[in-house]
Amino acid sequence: MIRIELLKLQTMRTTYGLLGIAVALTALDAVLRGSRAGVNKRPPLDTATGLTQQLTITGFGLLMAAVLGAIVASGEFRHATATYTYLAVPQRGRVLLAKAVTAALAGLVFGAVTAGVTIGVGLAFVAGHGYPVVLGAGTIARYAVGTTVGAAVLGVVGVGVGSLVRSQLATVLGVLVWSFFVEAITGGFFNWIGPYLPFTATTTLGGSPLGGGGFGFAGDSSASALPFAAALALVAGAAVLLNAVSARTTVRADIS
Amino acid sequence: MIEIRGLTKRFGPVLAVDDLTFDVDAGQVVGFLGPNGAGKTTTLRMLLGLVTPTAGTALVAGRRYVDLPDPTGMVGAALEAASFYPGRTARDHLRIQALAGRAGRTSRSSLAGRAGRSSRSRRDRIDEVLDLVDLTRAADRRVGGFSLGMRQRLGLATALLHDPQVLILDEPANGLDPEGVRWLRELLRDLADEGRTVLISSHILAEVAQTADDVVILDHGRLVAQSSLSELVAGARPVVRIRTPKANALCALLTTAGIPATVVAPDRVEVSDASPERIGTLAAEHRIPIFETSTETANLEDVFFQLTGGAQ
């Protein structure tokens, strides 16, 4: 089943489009922020704070992984391909599980590529300035692993939302509005709640400062990010819960 | 091969299928007919496990579709509303379906279809069905650029991919040009000659008249007829066509007398279920002149209209 879902992803232009968007926006954001590091009170790249902000510009990759997960599920209804899918494999739970695993695998790729781009661009700026790399290799590797794992989990979250809502447009808009606005506003007004919001918690897995949204901002939250394991458990829990609820509705739903 | 028993589906206040019961024997080609909105597609979707019945059962080979050990090896379906990812090529769509059919099997002993075996067999079978539906030259084109007729052909190729014993086709002639309709008729005849069971839905009786052994006719979700085509025509009421200058008066008179009559033109009335003698006697008693009467045996379309209230 996973092979089939992977083949579907491989034969969808959307997959490559979203990966392209993630790479392009991450690279653009990283170049813009790298070129302005140390300017206008921004911390320079030879400080731990400055380099951390620069190497954790992962928000676009995480978002695109969630959007891809949403499309993996809702696309079946948008293009009315669910009929063929469930005719071939009537056990709908198996299909949903395969979609979740596939979205997670795609998320791993999105996360790894995004981490590679932001770290690559950041270290290029460090080398260009002739600065020493003030973060250890272990820390940088942890950021990369956190982003990769986080994107995988967000892919699964996307599948849950897509299966539940079914409307592709509503699902994709919902993911974007939630990540860009709902969490930013909620976390901005109520700092203490920020670490517990799923997208924010995922950005902190990759080392982004709270309130920065994974877009290279310093963040101005007074709260502390959850420990890695707690943040991962939170996002994974949300993914499991969403998929469990959507599986209950999808298994019973009429496919017409 | 197909058993429908007391099948009912209610969508909120709408009763789409109402206590439907019929059988389709193995090796039969059955036309599943009814006007648009009669409940044909809902019935087929319940048979295929896509829609949950409110009551009743729909079985293929004695099992619910979801319980079949090899669903696509047993049943190939081309449904009207099913579609394709527009950016995918026809060949890629079939590659996915070939793998999916294999994944849907719950029994290793039923690896009958070549589409589920090695990747080479799958490729060969995909080429075969593409050739069968005359899509070989369009195989590597994106489906988004296909005409409706080409999509219908790809739907048929999908249905045939796993070489199923039973075919369920929902309005397969929609979007086909006259040449395509003739091609479809010949294809269905060939499939029937191979001993497959075919249930083909349509709202146009003529589409299935040359292929079907039996017809099942549905109207407003209820079964209104199941018989062979010849029995259907034999049991039909003859139509009496009358030319009169007082068409409205004659129609009113006959209706009052309990004889179904319709004004079809300012000087013409059509009457079913009554002899010309009775009509003539009634008209004479009420001084309504009749210039001409003719009695015609009902054709298939007339029967269809009689059974479904003339709605198409």
State pLDDT tens for residues A180-211. Answer: 888 888 877 888 888 888 888 898 888 887 77
Q: What gap in Å lies between CA B73 and CA B129, rounded to an integer?
A: 15
CB contact under 8 A, A79 and B84: yes
Let me know if residue A91 belongs to a domain.
yes
Instruction: Kindly list the distances between the CA atom of residue B102 and the CA atoms of A87, A173, B98, in Å, as whole numbers in the listed order.
Output: 12, 35, 7
Rounded to a whole number of angstroms, the CA Rg of chain A reads 19
CB contact under 8 A, A84 and B97: yes
Rounded to a whole number of angstroms, the CA Rg of chain B reads 24
CB contact under 8 A, A81 and B100: no
Let me know if residue A78 belongs to a domain.
yes
Let me know if residue A51 belongs to a domain.
yes
Predicted local distance difference test score (pLDDT) of residue B262: 86
Instruction: Kindly list the distances between the CA atom of residue B252 and the CA atoms of B248, B249, B257, B265, B288, in Å, as whole numbers in the listed order.
Output: 6, 5, 9, 14, 12
Q: What is the mean pLDDT of chain B?
A: 85
Does residue A62 contact residue A108 with C-beta atoms inside 8 Å? Answer: no
CA distance B68 to chain A (A): 9
Predicted local distance difference test score (pLDDT) of residue B193: 83
Reply yes or no on whether the pLDDT at A100 is more than 90: yes
Let me know if residue A177 belongs to a domain.
yes
Instruction: Kindly list the distances between the CA atom of residue B293 and the CA atoms of B238, B257, B268, B276, B277, in Å, as whole numbers in the listed order.
Output: 13, 19, 10, 7, 10
| Residues 6 or more apart whose Cβ sits within 8 Å of residue A90 | B49, B65, B66, B68, B71, B104
CA distance B95 to chain A (A): 9
Q: Is B281 exposed, middle or buried (0-12, 13-18, 19+ CB in 10 A)?
A: exposed
Q: What gap in Å lies between CA B199 and CA B214, rounded to an integer?
A: 10
Predicted local distance difference test score (pLDDT) of residue B110: 47
Residue ranges of chain A whose CB lies within 8 Å of a chain B CB: 1, 3-4, 7-8, 11-14, 75, 79-81, 83-91, 94, 252, 254-256
Let me know if residue A256 belongs to a domain.
no
Predicted local distance difference test score (pLDDT) of residue B238: 74
Predicted local distance difference test score (pLDDT) of residue A255: 84
Does residue B179 contact residue B266 with C-beta atoms inside 8 Å? Answer: no
Task: Give the strand order in the sheet containing B14-24.
Answer: B14-24, B2-11, B55-60
Q: What's the token pair of residue B211? A: 């292929």
Place of tokens 């956190």: A146
Nearest to A11 among B50, B92, B100 (CB): B92
SS3 label, residue B276? helix
CB contact under 8 A, B71 and A88: yes
Convert A33-48 to b/e letters by CB count within 10 Å (16 or more is b).
bbeebeeeebbbbbee
The residue of chain B nearest to residue A79, with distances taken between CA atoms, is B85
State pLDDT tens for residues A216-228. Answer: 566 666 777 788 8
How many domains are there within chain A?
1
Here the ipTM equals: 0.80
CA distance B61 to chain A (A): 16
Q: Which residues of chain B have pLDDT under 70?
A: 81-82, 107-117, 235-236, 297-302, 306, 309-312
Cβ-based contacts of A8 with chain B (< 8 Å)? 85, 96
Q: What gap in Å lies between CA A44 and CA A50, rounded to an integer?
A: 5
State pLDDT tens for residues A7-18. Answer: 999 999 999 999
Q: Which residues pair with B295 in a beta bridge?
A: B240
Let me know if residue A229 belongs to a domain.
yes
The residue of chain A nearest to residue B53, with distances taken between CA atoms, is A254
Neighbours of A240 (CB within 10 A): 15
Predicted local distance difference test score (pLDDT) of residue A34: 86
State the residue range of the domain holding A126. Answer: 2-251
What residue spans of chain A are helical by DSSP H?
2-10, 13-35, 48-55, 59-78, 82-88, 92-129, 137-165, 168-177, 183-189, 198-205, 228-252
State pLDDT tens for residues B38-81. Answer: 889 999 999 999 999 999 999 998 999 999 988 988 999 998 75
Q: What gap in Å lies between CA A185 and CA A217, rounded to an integer?
A: 15
Which structural domains are found in chain B, ordered by start? Answer: 2-234 (3.40.50.300), 239-296 (3.30.70)
Predicted local distance difference test score (pLDDT) of residue A39: 82
State pLDDT tens for residues B236-248. Answer: 677 888 999 999 9
Let me know if residue A7 belongs to a domain.
yes
CA distance B93 to chain A (A): 9
How many residue contacts between A and B have a Cβ separation below 8 Å? 86
The residue of chain A nearest to residue B64, with distances taken between CA atoms, is A90
Task: Give the strand order in the sheet containing B166-170.
Answer: B75-78, B166-170, B197-202, B29-33, B214-219, B222-228
Cβ-based contacts of A255 with chain B (< 8 Å)? 45, 50-51
State pLDDT tens for residues A149-160. Answer: 999 999 999 999
Tell whether B50 lies on the interface with A, counting CB pairs under 8 A.
yes
DSSP structure string for B49-67: TSS--SEEEEEETTB-GGG
Let me know if residue A82 belongs to a domain.
yes
Predicted local distance difference test score (pLDDT) of residue B113: 53
**Span A106-123, average pLDDT:** 94
CB contact under 8 A, A87 and B50: yes
